[in-house]
Amino acid sequence: MKKIFFWLFILIFLSLLTACGGGGGVGGGSSSSITPTGVSLTNPAIGTNVATITVQAQSFGLSNNVNIPTVSITVCQPGSTTQCQTIDNVLVDSGSYGLRIFSNQITNFSPSFIQSGGGTVTECVQFADGYTYGPVANLDVSIAGETASNIPVNILASPNYTYVPSTCVAGPPLQSPASFGSNGVLGIGDNINDSAYGLYYICSGNTCSYQNNVTNSSSFVIVNPVSKFVADNNGVIISMPAITAATGNSSASGQLIFGIGTQSNNVLPNNANVITPDTSNYFVTTLNGTTYNSSFIDSGSNGLFFNTNINLNPCSQSSNWYGFYCPNTSQSLTAQITSTNNTTASVSFSVTSPLDYPNSAFAFDDLAGTQLNGNIYSNSFDWGLPFFYGKQVFISISNSPYIAFVNN
C-alpha cells in the first residue's frame, strides 16, 4: 500500500499483497568457493550471477522515501547489442512478478509493442492507492551477467497510450517515477509470471477489450525475468547487511544472487529456516497471541506492517510518518513464523519511532506500521525490508515454491 512515505505493495483483485525502486549492477569474475553455510556479506558472493542492491537517498521527492532496495538493469531491443538502455533506481520486489519500466527511462530506442487481435496489448496493475498502465513490449533484459531474451515487459505511462480503460482506474494514477517512487519494478517473487494477477487488454485507439483468458502460456504475459535466464533460473537470494547504528544507516549495500544450488555461490545452507507457503503464497505469523494467516515476505515493503494488540502508539495523522508506529521507547518483539508443514521459526525484531530518525539515514531495521485498510489487511503480517537486514533470504521459483532465511 503506497502512501506518502512509500509503503507500497501491489493489490491485484484485492487478493495479492505485494510492494513495490535504483542502484548499480555488478558482474564479472568467476564463482568463488564457499562453506556449506552459504554466502554472507562477510564472505560475499562473486560471479556473473550477482548484482548489487543499494538502499540510499532517492531523488523522487517523496516524503520518508526510506528502505528502498534497488538495482540497475539493462534492456535492449531483442537481439540487439546497440539499441540498449541501462536503467538505475529499479525496485527489487520479492512480492511481485515481472519487469515494469517507465517509458521515459528508455530514450536510446523505441520498444516495439506487442500486437494481438488487431490491437496493442496493454497491462494495468492496481495498487492500494492508485494504478499503473501501459503497453507490453518484448525486450532482452540483463541484470549483472544474466540475460532473459525476448521477454514481455510492461512499459508504463507510454505517451502513445494515454487512454486508460475505465476498469483499470482505481485511485490516482501512479504514472511517473516521481509519483511511483522508482524508475521501475523488478518483480522477482516465487511465480514465473503474473498471469493470475495482471489486468490485460487489447487496445485500438480508445477501444480496449479486457482479456479474461490470460494463462501461463499466453505469449504476452509479463514474466519473472529470472525464470527465463539460461541458468540460475530457479530462484534468487537477497543478502543484506545488518544495520549497525541505533538510528539507522545512511545507506546499505547488499547482493541479489541468482539461482539456488546452481553454483557454489548460491548454496542453500543446512541451517536455513525453510518456509513453505500455502497455495496463495501465504504463511502464518503469530505475535503476542494474534495469528496472521495471510503473512508474506516482501522486499518491496519498506517496513513491517501489521495490526496488533500491543501498544505501539501509532504516529499522529498530522505527522509525515502517519501509518507507522511511534512508540515512546524502542520495543523488542518476537514473532513465530509457521510453515504449512508446521515447522516454526522465531523472528526477533524491534520497533522504534521514526520521529527519532536522523534526516541523513535511509536504511532502518526497526521501522514498522499498521495496516491502515483493516478490512483487507487485518489478517496479514507484511515482513518488509527490515526483515531482510542481517539475513540471506532465499526465494525459490518452482511448482513447489518456498522461502528460506538464515542470518548473515
Q: What does residue 342 show for φ and ψ, rounded to 5 degrees?
A: 70, 10
Residues 6 or more apart in contact with residue 396 via CB below 8 angstroms: 190, 234, 235, 260, 402, 403, 404
Taken in order of first residue, the domains within the chain and their CATH numbers are 11-235 (2.40.70), 262-407 (2.40.70)
Whether residue 392 has pLDDT greater than 90: yes
Residues 6 or more apart in contact with residue 127 via CB below 8 angstroms: 1, 2, 8, 9, 10, 11, 20, 170, 171, 174
Range with the poorest average pLDDT among 13-22, 32-41, 70-79: 13-22
- Mean pLDDT, all residues of the chain: 86
CA distance 330 to 326: 9
**What pLDDT band is residue 40 in, cutting at 50, 70 and 90?**
low
Identify the pLDDT of residue 7: 36
Cα 195 to Cα 192, 224, 262, distances in angstroms: 9, 11, 27
Q: Which pLDDT tens digit goes with each residue over 172-193?
A: 898 999 888 899 999 999 999 9
Whether residue 14 has pLDDT greater than 50: no
pTM of the model: 0.89
CA distance 89 to 72: 6
CA distance 337 to 349: 13
CA distance 209 to 321: 40
Q: DSSP E strands: which ranges in 22-118?
A: 50-55, 69-76, 84-93, 97-102, 115-116
Identify the pLDDT of residue 9: 36
Identify the pLDDT of residue 64: 65
Identify the pLDDT of residue 15: 31
Q: Which of 26-30, 71-75, 172-176, 187-191 has the highest mean pLDDT?
A: 71-75
pLDDT, mean of residues 283-287: 96
Nearest Cα residue to 238 out of 55, 360, 100, 66:
55
